[in-house]
Structure 1
Amino acid sequence: MRVAAIDCGTNSIRLLIADIEGESFREVLRTMEIVRLGQGVDETGQFHPDAITRTLAAVDKFAAEIAKRGVEKIRFCATSATRDATNRHLFVDGVRERLGIEPEVISGDEEAALSFAGAIQDFHPSDGPFLVVDIGGGSTEFVFGTTSVKSAKSVNIGCVRMTERHFAHDPAQQSQVDAARADIVEAIAKAASIVPITKAKTLIAVAGTATTVAAAALNLSEYDRYAIHLSRITAQQVHETSQMFLTKTREERLTLGYMHPGRVDVIPAGALVLSEIMSATGASEFVASESDILDGIARSLAGKGA
């Protein structure tokens, strides 16, 4: 069965087209556009008209690919920013017109389950229990389990939200970093009251913040998802990379060969979130996974995973 999965987050929108038959999973196309749908949502509670325009333009591109490649089933999942926006109907209506399906505004729990299903697909249960951490634009999910989700919590410390809330300067001033860190530590503690974040055998981190930190730690000259996938990054490397991103200017971060231009503004805050997670969990390393919620959405269309 050929399926199309779309993950619409706060910072990016991504498409995966895959052929799934039984246990066979073959990727046909994977693409991403940075659209910053969550622009200003933390402050205003609404989508900015420009953000809706950018995102629907990306949906138009995805619709063309889906039509061209003979997709049989589509699932469109929108996450943190769309949950928070009071005018989300404008966006939902636009997606429906373009794809002919109802976009789902999924809960934090559903987001966690889909992320978990995607993230653990290349691991053996003996590597568990797992803690899957998904640092998005608006929120971060903490998901614990071995073959299925045992506990999960979504907290509002995504890279876009933290950047807009705290980082008025670039590079951020120390007082801004301290304020962001306090916010992050408080949110992680909230997650830890529900999820046993120190009890995992393997910590898996997914999404663009984690994979960009991995690219930096691996000293890649350009972004290489095959080199990043399943790489093991030590806690010390995460702390050093976070500090590097926080002290470089935007222009300096842009010169890094692995840096996506759409991520350059929010990577300092995102890396700070990951650094604090490493401290709070006590994990000596994390495994970077390029398989994430998008893979989980695709598998759900074939009746697998979440």
Structure 2
Amino acid sequence: MYGALDLGTNNCRLLLARPSRRGFQVVDAFSRIIRLGEGVSQTGRLSDLAMNRTLDALRVCAGKLHRHHVSRTRLVATQACRVAANGSSFVDKVKNIFDLDIEILTPKTEAHLAVAGCATLIDPTADYVLVFDIGGGSSEIVWLDLTRLGSRRDVWTGRSDVNDAIVAWESLPVGVVTLAEHFGGREVTQATFAAMSKAVTELLLPFEAKHRFRELMAGKPVHFLGTSGTVTTIAGVMLGLERYDRKRVDGIWLNVGDIDDVTSKLLGQSYEERISEPCIGRERADLVLAGCAILDAILKLWPADRLRVADRGLREGILMQLMMEDGVWRAGRRRRGRSKRSNGAEQS
């Protein structure tokens, strides 16, 4: 049994799974909004209230790991623990209380794991892929050149590491929590939204100036893939879901026109009206427009007609990496190969 924990700025997520022939089968999962990074952009520290909320969630995670006798795990924390002065001491506290060894990821490792987690949704006919993960405290931007891979379809089976196709990446020090805290997330006017988008664009411009991806995109098949609560929320609102349904959202394609329509709809709503949206609710109502502004900046800098939505990310990337390290799919192919040779010998 394998386990992956993603302790983010806004969410605490756990995924437990067993290998299957084409990936893995989920055995148990847990997700809770804990807002660990609340106020960190102002104070530089994790607050007692946020840490207590997080400890409550981690208590549930520890129970699941113990109950399922998970043998292989990777437990990680991201931006909030990276930047907070007391991030490391909080991780030590978690170790003392629950015996959970949480690793604070570097931005580069976080970006690579996010890509690995959604690799099976990448269009193998594209030459270039832009993967973006709009988080709570940071946003990861990753460009891939699939022509660098021997066989593009091998990334779906664990035979190739999709990270071999990465040509550039950037971790922006801004996410939905930090942007909403800076500009305000409850009452967002058109002017506030434009200011949010502009602030993100200014962070993206040095990355674009260095790599000139706008020129690279000209006339080439490019696939945009978004993995975050922002794009899954937009998809849920667009579909008019009465309750969020991962099966209907994960892998769906969004036209940019649909994204603009949902953003305009949310901008026209009050905070209370956004709360009443089934796929937003009270926990995301003050963050969703900050996420839309980050997405707006990305799509204005690198125009696209559509993008694919991934309701997956770090946890799935961790599980895929652990299973690849253990050679679970290589062993399966060897067994199938021996079976074919054996059957051939019996028939001759």
When the two structures are superposed, what TM-score results if normalisation uses the length of structure 2? 0.82
Cross-structure match for 1:120: 119
Shift in Å at residue 195 of structure 1? 5.4
Task: Considering fraction of residues, name the structure with more helix.
Answer: 2
Cα distance in 2 for partners of 1:201, 1:172 equals 32
Over the residues paired in the alignment, what is the CA RMSD in angstroms?
2.0
Aligned AA for 1:163? Answer: A
Shift of 1:251: 1.2
SS in 1 for 2:297: helix
Q: Which residue of 1 aligns with 2:171?
A: 154
C-alpha distance in structure 1 between counterparts of 2:118 and 2:294, whole Å:
19
Alpha-carbon offset, residue 21 of structure 1: 5.3
Residue 111 and residue 38 in structure 1: after superposition, are their counterparts in 2 closer, same or farther (change >3 A)?
A: same
- Asked whether the equivalents of residues 153 and 194 of structure 1 are also in contact (C-alpha less than 8 Å), the reply is no
In the alignment, residue 323 of structure 2 is paired with which amino acid?
A
Q: Does 1:243 align with 2:264?
A: yes
CA distance in 1, matches of 2:119, 2:212: 18
In the aligned structure 2, how far is the partner of 1:281 from the partner of 1:66?
Answer: 41
- Per mean C-alpha deviation after superposition, the further-off stretch among 242-251 and 274-283 is 242-251
Structure 2 counterpart of 1:281, from 289, 302, 306: 302
Distance 2:325 2:235 in 1: 28
Name the residue aligned to 1:129: 128
Indicate the residue corresponding to 1:231 in structure 2.
252
Q: How many equivalent residue pairs?
A: 303
Structure 1 match to 2:99: 100
Q: Matches of residues 1-306 of structure 1 in structure 2 within 5 Å?
A: 2-20=1-19, 23-123=22-122, 125-145=124-144, 146=146, 147-148=162-163, 149-167=166-184, 170-194=186-210, 197-198=213-214, 199=217, 201-303=222-324
CA deviation after TM superposition for structure 1 residue 81, in Å: 1.3
Tell me, in whole angstroms, the C-alpha distance in 2 between the residues paired with 1:185 and 1:143.
16
Of all paired residues, the percent bearing the same amino acid is 28
Q: Distance in 2 between matches of 1:217 and 1:277?
A: 20
The one-letter code of the counterpart of 1:215 is: G
Give the SS at the match of 1:279: helix
**Other structure's SS at 1:125 match:** coil
How many angstroms does 1:175 deviate by? 3.8
Q: Which runs of 5+ in 1 are unaligned?
A: none
Confirm or deny: 8 A CA contact 1:235 1:275 kept in the other structure.
no
Q: Secondary structure at the match of 1:274?
A: helix
